[in-house]
Structure formats: C-alpha cells, structure tokens
Structure 1
Amino acid sequence: MTNTIYDLDAWREQALEALDAQPGIEFQPRPGGEIFTVPHPLMLDDAKSAKLESASGALAIATVLLGSPAAYARFVAAGGRAGDVMMAYRVMQQSVTLDPTLTAFTPWSADAHTNSNLTSSTVIPASVDLSISGGELLSPVQES
C-alpha cells in the first residue's frame, strides 16, 4: 500500500481551483489607486486566524483581514468601508464546503452549512454591525 504525501501549498491551490475561487477578493476604491486584497478564508495563516478570532466588530475584523491598521486607514481614505471587507469575506466564507470524503469540493448549500468539515474557524456573526462611525477605527487591532 502506498501512502500519499501532499504538498500543502499545491493542495491549497488545487482546493481554490476546485472551488473556482481566487486567493482573495481585490478592491480598488479609486480608479488607478491602491489595490487592497481580502484573503480567502482558506488562505489565512494561523497568526491571522488567531487575530481574527480575537477581533471584535466589523472595524477590527476588516483591519485584520486587510493586514494592519495602516492598511485599513489607507483603504478608508481611498473610499473603502469595513462593510466592503465584511461582505467580501462573508461571500468567500459561505461559498465553500468540503464533502466528507475530503476528495471533492461542492458549492455551498443549506445542508452543507450544518455538515461542513471545511469552513473558516472564524464566522462573522450576522449581528456584527457593518457600519463605520465617521471612518474611525473603533476597535483597533494591535500589530504584533
């Protein structure tokens, strides 16, 4: 019997390809301006996942997903909002599930949601306020 050894980088790429997904969603709040990327939930490293789990509120979550308070400030200054980041992440988060055999990806469905064995460890609750208060970062996330 031959054991299969997976190259995790290639496996992640294949997972995204099977989902017909990109590594993230890119935003350009102003034509010709800076491009910001919200990473796909499957592409988060453990450090970012841990920060995301401890983040509270849309502004803090958006800050973590964009990478830093400085990146979030640039995003807001360019016309972006925390709600944009939250919607992008939620769309990506809800678009994937893995079948129980770990061999085939399937589109999200109501049944898959309750039985999923491949979801982000952080779920953005529907109750999170997606609004921005004057564009200020109310719950800054500290960079380490």
Structure 2
Amino acid sequence: MDLKDIQNLIKFVAKSGASEVKLETDDVKITIRTGSETETTYVQQVPMQAQMPMQQAMQPAPVATPAAPETAAPKAEENSKYITVKSPIIGTFYRKPSPDKPLFVEVGQTIGEGDVLCIIEAMKLFNEIESEVSGKIVKILVDDSSPVEFDQPLFLVDPS
C-alpha cells in the first residue's frame, strides 16, 4: 500500500462519518480515528513472519436518540413553579451531619432562609449548605453519599 492509497483512505473515512477504521494487510496495519478536529492515523509495518489475515472494521459514529418531547415538556412545566437549590461546590453530598444523627430535611418539610439543607464534603472540609429561600421541600434530587458537581440541582422547593 503506497502513500497515495493511505491518503485516499483517510479522505474516504473523513467523508463517511465513521469514528474509527482499522485495516490490516500482510505488511501494513492502519488505524484511522476521526471525531475530533484533527484526524489520527497510525501506520505500522507488520513483520514478515507474523502474517495476519486482511481485516477491516468500520464502526459508525454513535447516533444520539432524542428524548421523547411529550414526556420532557410536562416535567419542565411541573418543575417550573419550584425553586431549584443547586450545589455551590463539587464534593460529596450528605443528608445528615453524621451517620447516627437525623436527616437535615425531608420531603414535605417546611424550611426557612438560613436552614441547613445538607452537607457537601470537599477536600475533607464539610460545608453546610443553607437555604436561600423559604418554602416546602418537594423533592430531593440526589442520593445520600453521592458525588455532586458544581451547579447540580439538589432540591426542589415550593416557595408558596
């Protein structure tokens, strides 16, 4: 396989939309990966004593299936009347101050501004997350002892 054949193969793979192509012949092994801004091509000469059968595998790019709009729209409307309390930091979410203590808040409980909702542990520091709104806890969106990201929704609060 000469350089021109390899270049044509790279162009073909880029146009086809495949994410990865592997081609093995008696003397050459080629892997072409696309999907980023630059294409990655590996060409390896196979030693003559290790004769390998020709193999070509094309894997199409994964196709994302859109979520059903009928199910997403009512949930968004239903949750729009609630205030979402989000995580201010990255860490581990805890619903109790310690394993033998009661939960900070439960679904249906009325809270006020400044009430502690949970603790988020970040780098061995336990940060109390206080409510910035008054209302009733409608839903707790994170399981106890779960990792949380910055700005991840933690609670839904009904302000009425």
TM-score for the superposition, normalised by structure 2: 0.23
More helix by share: 1
Higher strand share: 2
When normalised by structure 1's length, the TM-score is 0.25
